[in-house]
Structure 1
Amino acid sequence: MISKVFIDSDVILDVATGREPFVQDSKIVLSLIENGLALGVMSSNSITNIYYVLRKLGTSGRARIFIRELLDIVHIISIDHETIKNALDSKFLDFEDGVQNYCALKNQCDYIVTRNNKDYQFSELKVISPKEFNLLFNK
């Protein structure tokens, strides 16, 4: 059975901004998902956050193009009332990370892929870096 992986926005921003030294591993993550080796998902608020950052760094048009291309690779999952309440009641120090975690849990993800593993120390899911993802799925 194919694994469902929640992609944190830092991984996507590495690709979109060419952020070194992370861009290569993050590109491989998206490539492996695009090739069907895993199902990649992101939360709806991640998309708006990514758009905001890209628009600030460039233009609205370029940000929209990137998001459209991203939507061909990953699926967008919703955040609901229960997810927000769980994040508020959790031990997560960063509220947004808590929201992402509970969104991934609710949608039965197997992994969270992020460069900020320590931010997810209270997660019940397996939290892996892009490099770890690539080692696991690029066989």
Structure 2
Amino acid sequence: MKKIFLDANIVIDFLDASSKDHSTAVDCLSIIRKHFGKPVVSPITFIITNFILGKFAKNKDWHKKQMQYTFSEFEITPIQPSFIPALFSTHFTDLEDGLQHQCALHAKARVILTKDIKDYFDSKIPVVHPADFVNKYNNLLPR
């Protein structure tokens, strides 16, 4: 099955109903789950999502349960010590995105979905904006 790797910004938009890109993220995850199985994320995405959304959570127990429920629906890649030197042998200038890329490579992802296309200029995996991903699959559906 074709694995689709999600950058942290897609997961945050998915969880943040006030985001202008929330509906696109919801559509992305719906398409992925229906046609490709579990979306793939890295532990970095978990950390970033927890940090950003956790700042706004008044009830920490509720936040913890939401994180547990949400991330149980993803395949989570490992992070290996070898990813760090491999990252420095690339042209990635955003090191977090470079590390995400190393995780996607390890997972054998066939596509990376991110809003930060320009940060993945050195990607060995095709990189697609979530709106383009949704449009492509909506245009493939019979009318």
TM-score, reference length from structure 1: 0.88
Match of 1:9 in 2: 8
Deviates more, 1:11-20 or 1:126-135: 11-20
Segments of 5+ residues of structure 2 without an aligned counterpart are none
Letter in 1 for 2:25: S
Structure with greater proportional strand content: 1
**C-alpha displacement of 1:56:** 0.5
Q: Are 1:58 and 2:20 counterparts? A: no
Letter in 1 for 2:127: V
Instruction: Note if contact 2:77-2:106 (Cα within 8 Å) is conserved in structure 1.
Output: no
* Mapped partners of 2:79, 2:87: distance in 1: 11
The change in CA–CA distance for 1:89 and 1:63 in structure 2 (over 3 A counts) is farther
Deviates more, 1:5-14 or 1:27-36: 27-36
The change in CA–CA distance for 1:104 and 1:36 in structure 2 (over 3 A counts) is same
Deviates more, 1:16-25 or 1:95-104: 16-25
* Mapped partners of 1:17, 1:39: distance in 2: 20
Match of 2:105 in 1: 105
Larger radius of gyration: 2
RMSD: 1.7
**C-alpha displacement of 1:123:** 0.4
TM-score, reference length from structure 2: 0.86
Letter in 1 for 2:17: G
Count of residue pairs the alignment pairs up: 138
Q: Which runs of 4+ in 1 moved over 6 A?
A: none
* Mapped partners of 2:26, 2:45: distance in 1: 17
Within a 5 Å distance, the mapping from 1:66-81 to structure 2 comes to 66-81=66-81
